[in-house]
A and B are shown apart, each in its own frame.
Chain A
Amino acid sequence: MMPVILWTDALIFLLIAVGLTSAWWIRQRPHLMLPWQRVAKSSVGMVSLLVLSLFVLVGLLDTLHYRVALPEKNNGQTVYSPEVLSAFDALASGLRSRTEKTYSAPLAAYLYAKESLETPDGKVLRDYPRLKFGGAHLGDPQHELVGDVVKWALMGALGGLLVGAVVITVILVSFRRKPESSDVKELRSRQGEDVVPLRRAGLRGWIPALAGMTSAGPLRALLIATLIIAALIGAVANLSTAYHVLGTDKVGQDVLYLSLKSIRTGLVIGTVTTLVMLPFALLFGIAAGYLRGWVDDAIQYVYTVLSSIPSVLLIAAAVLMMQVVIEMHGDWFQTSAARADVRLLALCMILGVTSWTGLCRLLRGETLKLREQEYIQAAQAFGVSSFRILTRHIVPNVMHIVLISVVMDFSALVLAEAVLSYVGVGVDPTTISFGTMINAARLEMGRDPMVWWALAAAFSFMLVLVLAANLFADAVRDAFDPRLNRTEGAK
């Protein structure tokens, strides 16, 4: 096995490293911790964070790429398979490998298209053939299917609940042990008898203790959400061993697998594009607004020109050029995955470079307003340098706009990818993404009977992802707005 680090992987690792470093940095400083503690107190924020982190987890698993070593050797050297897999592929190998012939509806036992079948007595029938994997264990699917699905789902849900409960217990215990070991006295005085049954009694003591804990807002919401999600995941996971939960697509691939794989593409397009776009928008926006004069003129001309070119045209031109470069230099890439990945990265860059104008304009306007504020003038009277005024006074006060528009853009970008795939300048055809799924749905929706599940799956995954991101961003924004929060005496 050989680990492979694609370009986008590297960027994602970089993002994670930056995230962890800043988290550590913030932990050291109580006044910076404070707003995050407020986020932790918001039920909506924590539940959406939970959902979001599940998506991120899938995306991260899908980011750990490797190539499998092949059994045969070439002059003593290990030969690796040309196919690049990810940790997620390994986990979902069942989903990946169980492909049908073509379309099948969610949880179906039959194919969605009639075929000529030869009966044992030699007649040729046109009927819906059985699936190779979906419901293959059933003797008489027409009668047994519903009951069997319910059975599998319930068993899975139960298993999920059990796992969820175990996870919660482990977390709660480690949560409680920590302060106990550090300062038992203080904890006791704070929480009263609550602690005692936890340590002495067995299960009977647990229930009231848990009930006591769950009365607190976010914790209770979090527990309920965890259990629901655990049950859901359990049910889906269990069902997916015997059925295609979300059906299969044209070439018989499991739609659930496609949807889960799409998450990484969506996250990459959403975050990496933002990463490319943000410096442009932030720097140019506030520089134009604050410095005025020729800087303002120059930046305004650039973004006015840029935003008056139809963006799809601009992106298409850039993507096509990039495509030509990639085609001409096939030797740059060892695997097709690497090539698709570079194309994805290039798409992010192009989207980023062309989409900063909107935010830039917003920020310029806001900065124009802020620079007349008296606190900016007070800073100028101290001789504070322009750079420091920009970073200390202007940037923190436009952050709410950045946060909101970045989250809004996130969904727009995922959709933009779909639109571009439709025009044929999106991600590489081999890359699985919401865009390619939606693009394929163009034909599927026109079929009779309609194939709706691929679109529905892409739609609901995107909806949940974007909604969770929006709600979380809302909670963060509220927590950081000092006007909405009274300091509970930091320090």
Chain B
Amino acid sequence: MTELLKVSSLVTRLNNGPRIVDDISFSIKQGETFALLGESGCGKSMTALSLMRLLPGGIHIESGTVQLDEADILALPERIMREVRGGKMAMIFQEPGLSLNPVMTVGDQIAEALELHHELHDAAVRARCVELLDQVGIPDAARRLNEYPFQLSGGMKQRVMIAMALAGEPKLLIADEPTTALDVTIQAQVLQLLRDTQAQTGMALLLITHDLGVVSEMAHQVAVMYAGHIVEQATREQLFASPAHPYTQKLFAALPDAALGGQPLAAIPGSVPPLHDIPKGCRFAPRCDKAWALCHEQAPEWTKLAEGQGVRCHLYGEGRWEKREGEAILSRADAPPSPASGRGAGGEDKLLQVSDLKVHFPIRKGILQRTAGHVKAVDGLSLEIQQGRTLALVGESGCGKTTVGKALLQLIRPTAGSVCYAGNNLVGLDAQQLREQRAGMQMVFQDPYASLNPKMRVAEILQEGMDALAIGNNGAERQRRIDELLDQVGLAQAAKWRYPHEFSGGQRQRIAIARALAVNPKLLICDEPTSALDVSVQAQILNLLKSLQQELRLSYLFITHNLAVVEYLAHEVCVMYLGRIVERGTAADVLHNAQHPYTRALLSAVPRIDGRGMEVIRLAGDMPSPANPPQGCHFHPRCVHADAVCRSVYPAATNSSTTHAVHCHLYGGER
């Protein structure tokens, strides 16, 4: 195999500013998948844009060479470069919804690329478009050509993006976080598609991702990036068998896993250093527990380990073997014994009891705004949470899980059903009565960047709830409480007088948690609190949530799509599909003995870093619209086991054990 792309000593920097991509070298062979792995802000996307020479204003390539097929990309005139883009290398982006032009039909957008690179016309273009859409697995391609992006689902849009990228028959496809915005089942489809396409066309793939699971499924070669440097490069097998750089090791350790039980995750303290404040010496040194004086003074050189594996770390310099071995043993031993395991510690009293909750949004049509139908976002949901326990509500986007969270807090008024918190039904209370109950239940939101008012200082943010619910008698008492809260969530008290934008994502999420805790709630509704965060920061937040639960005997309703997090944190799990719970049980029941076909598909679609994992069940198609759910079992159009009964009758709950229930005809009495 020949080397298709060869990048050597590439440096990209802000004009007169810091280096964003710092001395990067790698090469990709034909037909190979090269993964660039790293947290946000590490320079992964900038590397990709440098290769395409599509850097935004104010950033330029300072030095280095990029060779694609023997041609020096950085020396080409712009006119030829335009042919290279799309023709030899193509790129697909993270957010499929934003990378398609909303006012052009899908066909026109693909045709645009085709006409540029192949000089095809009219009928030939159309035929090729259909062919491309077929290739990326879009059913009924000829009809889809005339549709607009808004008529397609997220997964479909990403497929169209891939089709557009393939239109120029590129030799190298750069995929910048292609599945981050997609659900796991859709992610599995897209990754499979990328693999199939690669096998067919023999193109090389540069995959940019932060997800170790995706890397383990896709990559042949992996480079780990940190603060502009590649800190480690290896084949997938080498990397997953023996990660060399402390950062890589930490990334693996930070992944939540049920096997850890009650132990805290090995979070990496701090966050990626900002560009203008890159430490002297090794860039990872401030967060590295193996760092010693040298690490802080001198930047490590690239050290070659085995064939194909290299690392940028002082530990692998000459004569450092002993140090490394000693440290490694130590680091494994210092994991503290798990403190009184959170599991089973819950009391018997039911803190929250929800029965038959329904949230329907009317669809209005016509001039008179008559109700033409309902979007049944939540349709008859029941659950209960005991004090000190965690219930995870799992489902893909659009299944109504966020609506559940808001309906519980009465931010959205439920259409029917009851929400009993500590024995009081909250549904139908007026604003005043509701306020008396507010303190008990609070919410932590998904996006720490949107959940804090940018114009208020931390102290004001924390005080707001206390003021509204009259907690604490006077100003001084509240200030004391604020200090206490900041301590609790692991922030310095000086943080009080700062504005939210001065904090990183993880710190902001800590502030959001402190805000919720300010009113002494017993139940926290966490709506995907870690999905906007990097893996290492996610571990910090999960650890915090877990320790708060043990300290304060909090209950959590943990709304998420991330099954790994569920495994680590939850006592009980409910799986939601299209507004209804399809399977419920203890974490062990649901995750290790899943019964509903949907749960199984969901579990199998999660990319695993250890390569174990069960036989993969691919789900066809997307989730149907909640405005028009299918007859019978909601899942039957995507289910391989579906038969006539499934198509006509919604299955009742079947208990397979005292804690485990499933809504599926497969387990019903009649089968």
Contacts and interface: CB of A to CB of B under 8 A. Distances in A.
A388 B467 CA distance: 11
Interface stretch (B50-58, B281-289, B441-449, B635-643): B441-449
A374 B451 contact: yes
A487 B495 CA distance: 11
A383 interface: yes
B519 interface: yes
B343 interface: no
Contacts of A388: 468
Contacts of A487: 497-499, 502
A97 interface: no
B332 interface: no
Contacts of A382: 438, 442, 464-465, 468-469, 519
Contacts of A383: 431, 434-435, 438, 468-469
Contact of B464 (A384, A489, A490): A384
B446 A374 contact: yes
A423 B465 CA distance: 56
B501 interface: yes
Nearest to A396: B455
Given A374-B446, A381-B438, A31 B497 contact: yes
B453 A375 contact: yes
Interface in B513-530: 515-516, 519
B450 interface: yes
Contact of A378 (B443, B457, B494, B497): B443
Nearest to B441: A381
Contact of A377 (B431, B445, B469, B498): B445
A482 interface: yes
Interface string B451-465: 111111100010011
A178 B441 CA distance: 54
A491 interface: yes
B507 to A, nearest CB: 14
B409 interface: yes
A379 interface: yes
Given A486-B502, A487-B497, A487-B502, A375 B468 contact: no
A378 B512 CA distance: 9
Given A377-B406, A383-B431, A483 B497 contact: no
A381 B409 contact: yes
A491 B493 CA distance: 12
B21 to A, nearest CB: 25
B445 A397 contact: no
Interface in A300-335: none
A379 B464 contact: yes
B411 interface: yes
Contacts of A385: 468
A30 to B, nearest CB: 9
A130 interface: no
A378 B501 contact: no
A393 interface: yes
Contacts of B452: 375
Nearest to A393: B453
A399 B123 CA distance: 55
B73 to A, nearest CB: 35
B454 to A, nearest CB: 6
A378 B453 CA distance: 10
A77 interface: no
A376 B461 CA distance: 11
Interface in A363-384: 373-375, 377-384
Nearest to A487: B498
A137 interface: no
A188 interface: no
A491 B497 contact: yes
Contacts of B455: 396-397, 482
A89 B497 CA distance: 50
Contact of A375 (B451, B469, B494, B501): B451
A206 B431 CA distance: 68
Given A378-B443, A383-B469, A397 B453 contact: yes
Contacts of B499: 482, 487
Interface string A385-423: 100100011001100000000000000000000000000
A164 to B, nearest CB: 37
B464 to A, nearest CB: 6
Contacts of B411: 377, 380-381
A298 to B, nearest CB: 16
Contact of B468 (A384, A396, A397, A482): A384
Contacts of B446: 374
Contacts of A392: 453, 456, 464
Interface in B535-584: none
Interface string B617-630: 00000000000000
B251 to A, nearest CB: 28
Which of A375, A381, A483 has its CB near the most chain B CB atoms (within 10 A)? A381
Which of A375, A393, A397, A486 has its CB near the most chain B CB atoms (within 10 A)? A375
Nearest to B515: A378
Interface in B296-313: none
Interface string A19-34: 0000000000001000
Contacts of A482: 454-455, 499, 501
Contacts of A373: 450-451
Given A382-B465, A396-B456, A483-B501, 8 more contacts: A378-B445, A380-B411, A381-B443, A392-B456, A482-B501, A487-B502, A489-B494, A490-B497
In order of increasing CB-CB distance, the 9 nearest A-B pairs are A374-B451, A383-B435, A396-B455, A374-B445, A382-B465, A383-B438, A482-B499, A384-B468, A375-B453
20 contacts: A31-B497, A378-B515, A379-B464, A382-B438, A382-B464, A382-B468, A382-B469, A383-B434, A383-B435, A384-B465, A384-B468, A388-B468, A392-B464, A393-B456, A396-B455, A397-B455, A483-B501, A486-B502, A487-B497, A487-B499
